Amino acid sequence: MQIELIIGSVALIVASWQLYLQKKEQVRNSRINSLIYLSDMLQKRINLYSDIINERKKNNQNYKGHAERMKTELKPLLYQTQNELISIISKTEKFEYIDNIKKALENKK
């Protein structure tokens, strides 16, 4: 009877640990997906602002407000989002070239 209780207790502990790890992985994946989505949204907004700036340059209109917002708000946010994404991924996945990616992103700053 005691052996069955011990085996049941160990099985319960193992199952609890697996559920904990599963939840942790779901939270991580959810965060990665959110960062990818945010990064994509920011990139689309940057592209839109670039198009607006180019159009205004053609028409000799003022574009400095759009350029300033893109430079001071959107690009830094995109950079931070990408850095956080790389940081999360690099904690669990081992890529040889992750440092090269970080350096390439720093140069775009």
CA 40 to chain centre: 10
Q: Look at residue 108 in the predicted model and tell me its pLDDT.
A: 55
Question: Helices 2-58 and 75-92 meet at what angle, rounded to 10?
Answer: 150
Find out whether 27 and 70 touch, Cβ atoms under 8 Å. no
Nearest CA among 108, 51, 44, 47 for reference residue 80: 108
This prediction has a pTM of 0.75
Rounded CA-CA distance 26/38 in Å is 18
* pLDDT for residue 107: 56
What is the DSSP code (8-state) at residue 60? T
pLDDT top residue among 108 and 20 = 20
pLDDT single digits (tens) 14-36: 999 999 999 999 999 999 999 99
Q: Share the mean pLDDT of the chain.
A: 90
